[in-house]
Amino acid sequence: MDMETIKKDYSRMNEMQQQAVFCTEGPLLILAGAGSGKTTVLVNRISYILRCGLCNPWQILAITFTNKAARELKERICVSVPEGGDDIWAATFHSVCARILRRFADRIGYTSHFTIYDTDDQRKVMKDILKSMSIDEKILSHRQVLSAISAAKDQMQSPEEMAKEASDKFDSRKISIARAFEQYQTHLKSNNAMDFDDMLLNTVRLFEACPDVLELYQNQFRYIMVDEYQDTNRVQYKFVSMLAAKSRNLCVVGDDDQSIYRFRGATIENILSFEHTFANAKVIRLEQNYRSTKTILNAANDVIVNNKQRKGKTLWTQNEEGDKVTIHTAYDEREEAMFIARTILEKVAQGASFGDVAVLYRMNAQSNAIEYALTRSGIPHRIVGGHRFLDREEIKDMLAYLQVINNPSDGVRLSRIINKPKRAIGDTTIQKIDSIANALGESMYDVIKRAGDYPELSRAAAKLTAFAAMLDGLIEAANSEDYTIAELYDLVLEHTDYKSYLKAEKENADERIENVDELMSNIVNFQEERAEEATLSAFLEDIALQTDLDNLEAGADAVTMMTLHSSKGLEFPIVFIAGMEEGIFPSFQSAYDPDSLNEEHRLAYVGITRAKKKLYLLHTQSRMLFGSTQHNNLSRFCEEISDEYVERTGVKRPNPHITVSESKSSTAAKFDPFALKKSKPSAPAASSSGSFCAGDKVLHKVFGTGLIISAQKMGNDTMLEVSFDKVGTKTLMANFCKMEKI
């Protein structure tokens, strides 16, 4: 079949989509706007490459950011290309790197059975390290240290390089972090373990240290495609660049307007500078949206145009005009939540399903009032980011057994299970084992097996060697290849008698046992999906790389609640975005950082473009958050949407454009006359700075300058409502506010 005949099979796609499919050679940036069919383009581009005979299926690498997206891509490719479609490498960055490292980890000092540490594992290790360094958690927390280490790994910085940089700047705090970083990496290596950042970084270092390995994969992957390229960090960019250096057939798909993960290390510069980084690169823009109504799309365009950090494009659609965007103002967060619940019930009564609805918010703390209202109204709902099945204590225990069987050097998981069920092996004994192992440069497991050789372990030697004997038997079973993963799991349950332990020691024992049994379902499903590739290592790797979104049940008839960050890549007929207020969205911190404010604009754009048919933007006049009452101004993102696309409901807000300050700053607070109508006649307030009255200009040590708009006597104190120039209206008590008149 000739090329022109093949091309006719793609005529159902729009012109720009066809251009992206047919452009197969050289670097290509596909700027794919929200809802523009980027997955369709990726699938058809792969199909076209294979139908034209340009390479074999296994010579194509398609990288995504979630396992769910990878599965969807693979399924659609297999439908489009029945023969060989399953041989394509379609996976996440971490999964691709894990596959490479399982084969060549020995080249950089690991075994192929290395463990992947999750967040809990990292925290436990770092807490122990900081304790050994006599560092007070209140002065330098383990979370802060781990965050700094992750940022360093994103920049490909070693502990030694961090230490030198800190020393040159006489930064004692950074010097301590660098010391902890060094000990952390030493612990990981001795435990044959990697964290998520290591998996990417170690693959790049493998390529740098072993040119033959790099050449092997450069020759294999003739065509490389990367989805969500705007979310890549420096290490991911390096990884992709090294792989594509030989063929130069690198196609990246992304949207600079949806780059919202800077806090995770994502570098928007990767997509903004693509055509400058890769010589002779071509750029194709996909601007036709197939998801949203014209009104919703116009609202999104009105917001994103205010982002100063973008390549520029304007989405358009042939869809219907659609309903106007509703901006609803409620009295407080409870009324906001009840409005959401009432509206959902109305929509369902009109024929919608609960599964059609998403409620989005800037921070998880906002979900409390909303969840309460949905529960009271009998509305089924699910929260993305809640307590995952895999995070339950009993599941982590059982997985720890499997992980130690797979990698006996894993001291973190070994410490978790050594006394579960109880074997009278206390923390003191575990600490002695750890100390001996560190002194000898051996694993804790090796020390336990020879416990009788160490006088300090003599009292516990019999218990320890019995534990080691049990593990030896399970490890032998795993290595024999006579048992499936499911059969091995049954052996673990039998030899540990873990279910009896739950019955004797734990509340809700029946529920916990059901969870332990349910893990078997995960194992059986994995075996059925992977067939001959269903090894214990592969199963544990699959579990380690799962996210909340990977487990989001498709088609469930329940309202979905999630943060705006979690919503990217999803779509719903009806979307509510709660807390559209200055100080919440955009966040207070972003108001003073242009880069952060640009990202908040992108986050608003992402939220708006999740909606297909109807969008509600919600704001309150008074909000209780973190135990404090706030009176925030309407979000600038709402103000940026043209009136022709908006209908306003709820509490009236008279003339919200009157400003308190004469400052020309874009973050100036806006005066809300409604607050004056609610207040009682002002009364003077005694304080260390003298009496406060409505109309006084004041200076606060934290919030800056402002104007008192009401003062209400309350016992021996006075409650002040102060409209600050930069942070909006705050409610303060005069005797404790540390504020002075100016």
Catalytic residues: 38-39, 227-228, 258, 610
DSSP annotation string for 392-453: SHHHHHHHHHHHHHH-TT-HHHHHHHTTSS--S--HHHHHHHHHHHHHHT--HHHHHHTGGG
Contact in structure between 516 and 493 (CB atoms under 8 Å): yes
Give the phi and the psi of residue 727 in degrees, each rounded to 5.
-120, 5
Q: Measure the CA–CA gap between 156 and 242, rounded to whole angstroms.
A: 15
**In whole angstroms, how far apart are CA 529 and each of 523, 524, 525, 538, 542?**
10, 9, 6, 12, 12
Listed in sequence order, the residues at least 6 apart from 496 whose beta carbon sits closer than 8 Å to its beta carbon are 401, 421, 470
Enclosing H/E stretch for 73 = helix 67-80
From the CB of residue 485, how many other CB atoms can be counted at a distance below 10 Å? 22
φ and ψ at 114, to 5 degrees?
-60, 150
Closest CA to 16 of 30, 35, 34, 28: 30
Cβ-contact 457, 449 below 8 angstroms: no
Strands 704-714 and 697-700: antiparallel
Distance CA 103, CA 191 (A): 18
Residue for token digits 């303060």?
732
CB atoms within 10 A of CB 236: 23
Checking 435-443 for CB contacts under 8 A at 24+ apart, the result is 437/411, 438/190, 441/190, 443/190, 443/191, 443/408, 443/409, 443/411
Give the whole-angstrom CA distance, residue 720 versus residue 674: 15
Cα 112 → chain centroid: 27
- Say whether 554 sits in a helix, a strand or coil: coil
**374 CB-contact burial (10 Å; exposed 0-12 / middle 13-18 / buried 19+):** buried
> What is the C-alpha separation between 362 and 564, in angstroms, rounded?
6
Please check whether residue 27 is in contact with residue 250, taking contact to mean a CB–CB distance below 8 angstroms: yes
Using CA atoms, how far apart are residues 652 and 658, in angstroms rounded to an integer?
Answer: 15
71 vs 46, 400, 539, 553, 555, CA distance in Å?
15, 26, 16, 14, 16
Cα gap 722→709, rounded to integer Å = 6
Write down the residue that tokens 């792969």 correspond to.
Answer: 46
One-letter-per-residue 3-state SS of 621-672: CCEEECCEEEECCECHHHHCCCHHHEEEEECCCCCCCCECCCCCCCCCCECC
User: How far is it, in rounded angstroms, from Cα 506 to Cα 95?
Assistant: 36
Q: Are 337 and 554 in contact (CB under 8 A)?
A: no
